[in-house]
Amino acid sequence: MRKKEKIQFILSTMEKMYPDAVCSLDNDGDSFHLFVRAILSAQCTDKRVNELTKTLFLEYPDPQAFASESEETIGVRIKSCGLFRSKAHSIVISSQMIIEEFDGKIPSDPKQLERFPGVGRKIANLVLGELYQIPAIVVDTHCGRVANRLGLSDSPYPQNIEKDLMACIPEENWITLGHRFVAHGRTLCMARSPKCADCPLCEVCTYVGNKSSDHKNKSPEHAT
């Protein structure tokens, strides 16, 4: 199968498998809330972030509320999300920057987004895609693993994986691709014990091919 055919097969199959895949962080229509949830999601499950912010945003509904609070107090409120000291610093300083430099609005420029503490390439891309529908690929651990196993990238580094995907995936698919890869990584293509036998993508999966080769090499007839 040629690469273009493989890409089309992956995209069409993923669409059938996960037609409703969306960002697993809650989006209540408030751009600042999604921004904060994204910062909190580092090394924390989206489910936990969603649970925490249901009450957090009642007390701190906007940048002004966070900007006027101490980092220590915010840290106590978000402690269950892990890395609470650095996240509290990022949220308080970012809130102050949003007020002072961006008139209370989340910017849509990736370079400006990456100026905020706690906001790297992944969060910037999430904000671009979810808030402004600007094509971008969010490469988290699930997306990176699926991309590697499907042979779309051979790099362990998220930024390189993103470049590899951008080079072979049509731009109009970038946003949904990330969500579907995440869904696939959670449903079938887990880090441990992936359910390859149940996966419709197994015929184009290099991970499955490598496993088959390893099995053959270890079989009695190939033993030395």
- The answer on 55 and 148 residing in a single domain is no
- The answer on 207 and 164 residing in a single domain is yes
pLDDT for 214 beyond 80: no
Asked if the structure places residue 224 within a domain, the reply is: no
Domain that holds residue 199: 3-21+138-217
pLDDT digits (tens, 9 = 90+) for 157-178: 999 999 999 999 999 999 999 9
pLDDT of residue 118: 93
- The answer on 83 and 160 residing in a single domain is no
pLDDT of residue 158: 95
- 223 or 176: which leads in pLDDT: 176
User: For the chain, how many structural domains are there in total?
Assistant: 2
Asked if the structure places residue 104 within a domain, the reply is: yes
pLDDT digits (tens, 9 = 90+) for 112-144: 999 999 999 999 999 999 999 999 999 999 999
Residue 219's pLDDT band, with cuts at 50, 70 and 90, is: very low
Tokens of 152: 């779309």
Last residue of a domain, one of 102, 132, 162: 132
Last residue of a domain, one of 132, 152, 181: 132
- The answer on 188 and 101 residing in a single domain is no
pLDDT for 222 beyond 50: no
d(CA 173, CA 191): 24
Last residue of a domain, one of 132, 161, 194: 132
